[in-house]
């Protein structure tokens, strides 16, 4: 197990492992069922038909919505009128991606028997570029969400989808790629019996120490530096690539960070990803711990949760549909590097405990 400078004992790690085996953390025990779309990990097959070429052509200039149709294929087919729009910032506006992430807004409320019951506005993560290499990046980002799902219920659920994109003007399929839907933050908060917190900034003293350390250790696991738990971009609510929730929207303590958007993580290693200028690394494959020094007392026990879940976390990579064998091996090797660091007292102390932020 781990011996570390943050005063965690072997007995305490054993208690953590027992807690995980017997039912997880306290928050997980209080959760409600997920909406039907996010209650299963099985991939779904859908067709989206609309003015896709126009959306792609205008992606950098507008997030206007366009009428379209989404069809759920399979044994229980459904067809939904939808409003479709490009979304996001980096992948939509910049030259990195030819195909933007999409927002799917259902024009009518699906019935109780529908897989999309209780869905309204959904984020769909797409393939960025229509080739096999970029398909692997999407699947690795999907796997990153699933990794955090294994650690805590306080995380965004995702649903993998085999998507056929049909342009209605041309009347033909322009792409067929795997993508994934992301659970809406309001649904996540409802599932946890909480509410989204929306404000420009969050103070460190307002954060839940346990959940903040857990989120930051997870970001270290996947090698992601493109986030903040204190503030958002100019003119936007907190926080950058992190949603916040608490027992109520006005809470000034116990605020829980909910990380999302992992395409700049070292695990994904997208060709366009670069470390933020404020960091001291030259490659997204290099990890840097960005936790707060005042939270170090909780760091050891939280690291123990990840160690206890090592087999499950590596299994997420093996179980991700569509990942090729080479990608699986490289992804697992990258995760093992994390476990090697946290299992070694000196490495843990040097790379996490002493590399914290004030």
Domain that holds residue 274: 10-30+194-353
Query: Helix, strand, or coil here: 46?
Result: strand
Q: How many CB atoms lie within 10 A of CB 82?
A: 25
- Looking at the fold, whether 58 and 203 belong to one and the same domain comes out as no
pLDDT score for 28: 43
- Looking at the fold, whether 47 and 179 belong to one and the same domain comes out as yes
Q: What is the reported pTM? A: 0.92
Does 1 map to a domain? no
Does 2 map to a domain? no
Does 70 map to a domain? yes
- Looking at the fold, whether 25 and 62 belong to one and the same domain comes out as no
Domain count for the chain: 2
Q: How far apart are CA 216 and CA 229, in angstroms?
A: 9
Q: Please, is 128 exposed, middle or buried when counting C-beta atoms within 10 Å of its C-beta (0-12, 13-18, 19+)?
A: buried
Query: Helix, strand, or coil here: 10?
Result: helix
Does 140 map to a domain? yes
Along the chain (358 residues), what's the average pLDDT of each consecutive run of 10 residues?
A: 40 42 44 95 98 93 94 96 92 88 97 97 97 98 99 98 97 98 97 97 98 99 98 92 98 98 98 91 96 98 98 99 98 99 97 97
- Looking at the fold, whether 180 and 199 belong to one and the same domain comes out as no
Q: How far apart are CA 307 and CA 340, in angstroms?
A: 10
pLDDT score for 98: 93
- Looking at the fold, whether 243 and 177 belong to one and the same domain comes out as no
- Looking at the fold, whether 176 and 253 belong to one and the same domain comes out as no
Does 358 map to a domain? no
Query: Helix, strand, or coil here: 207?
Result: strand
CA 227 to each of CA 60, 319, 345: distance values in angstroms, whole numbers, following the listed order? 23, 27, 27
Q: Write down which residue in 141, 159, 186 finishes a domain.
A: 186
- Looking at the fold, whether 181 and 306 belong to one and the same domain comes out as no
Handedness of CA 275, 281, 285, 286 (dihedral sign): negative
Helices (H), 102-192: 132-151, 185-191
Write down the number of H helices and E strands in the chain: 11, 10
Does 247 map to a domain? yes
Q: Write down which residue in 138, 167, 186 finishes a domain.
A: 186
Q: Write down which residue in 186, 210, 225 finishes a domain.
A: 186
- Looking at the fold, whether 199 and 182 belong to one and the same domain comes out as no
Q: Where are the beta strands (DSSP E) in the chain?
A: 44-50, 66-72, 78-86, 102-106, 121-125, 158-167, 172-182, 195-196, 242-246, 256-259
pLDDT score for 30: 60
- Looking at the fold, whether 258 and 314 belong to one and the same domain comes out as yes
- Looking at the fold, whether 229 and 346 belong to one and the same domain comes out as yes
- Looking at the fold, whether 220 and 268 belong to one and the same domain comes out as yes
Query: Helix, strand, or coil here: 344?
Result: coil
Does 121 map to a domain? yes
- Looking at the fold, whether 274 and 143 belong to one and the same domain comes out as no
Does 294 map to a domain? yes
């Amino acid at each position: 197990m781990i011996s570390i400078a943050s005063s965690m004992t072997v007995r305490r790690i054993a208690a953590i492992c027992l807690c995980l085996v017997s039912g997880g953390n306290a928050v997980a025990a209080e959760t409600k069922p997920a909406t039907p779309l996010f209650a299963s990990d099985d991939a779904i097959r859908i067709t989206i038909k609309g003015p896709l070429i126009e959306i792609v052509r205008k992606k950098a200039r507008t997030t206007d919505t366009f009428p379209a149709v989404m069809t759920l294929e399979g044994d229980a087919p459904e067809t939904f009128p939808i409003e479709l729009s490009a979304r996001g910032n980096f992948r939509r506006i910049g030259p990195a991606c030819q195909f933007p992430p999409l927002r799917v807004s259902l024009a009518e409320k699906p019935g109780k028997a529908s897989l999309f019951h209780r869905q309204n506005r959904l984020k769909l993560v797409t393939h960025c570029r229509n080739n096999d290499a970029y398909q692997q990046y999407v699947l690795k980002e999907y796997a990153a969400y699933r990794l955090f799902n294994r650690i805590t219920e306080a995380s965004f659920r995702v649903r993998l989808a085999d998507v056929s994109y049909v342009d209605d003007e041309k009347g033909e399929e322009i792409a067929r790629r795997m993508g994934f839907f992301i659970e809406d933050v309001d649904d996540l908060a409802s599932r946890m019996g909480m509410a989204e917190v929306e404000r420009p900034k969050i103070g460190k003293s307002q954060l839940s120490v346990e959940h903040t350390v857990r989120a930051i250790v997870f970001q270290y696991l996947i090698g992601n530096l493109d986030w903040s738990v204190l503030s958002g971009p100019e003119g936007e609510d907190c926080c950058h690539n992190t949603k916040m929730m608490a027992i109520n929207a006005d809470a000034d303590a116990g605020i829980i960070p909910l990380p999302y958007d992992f395409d700049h993580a070292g695990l994904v290693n997208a060709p366009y990803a670069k470390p933020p200028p404020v960091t001291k690394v030259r490659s997204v494959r290099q990890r840097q711990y960005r936790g707060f020094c005042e939270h170090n007392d909780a760091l050891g026990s939280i690291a123990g949760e990840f160690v206890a879940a090592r087999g499950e976390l590596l299994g997420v990579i093996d179980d991700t549909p569509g990942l090729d064998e080479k990608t699986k091996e490289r992804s697992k090797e990258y995760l093992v590097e994390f476990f090697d660091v946290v299992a070694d007292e000196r490495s843990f102390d040097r790379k996490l405990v002493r590399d914290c932020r004030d």
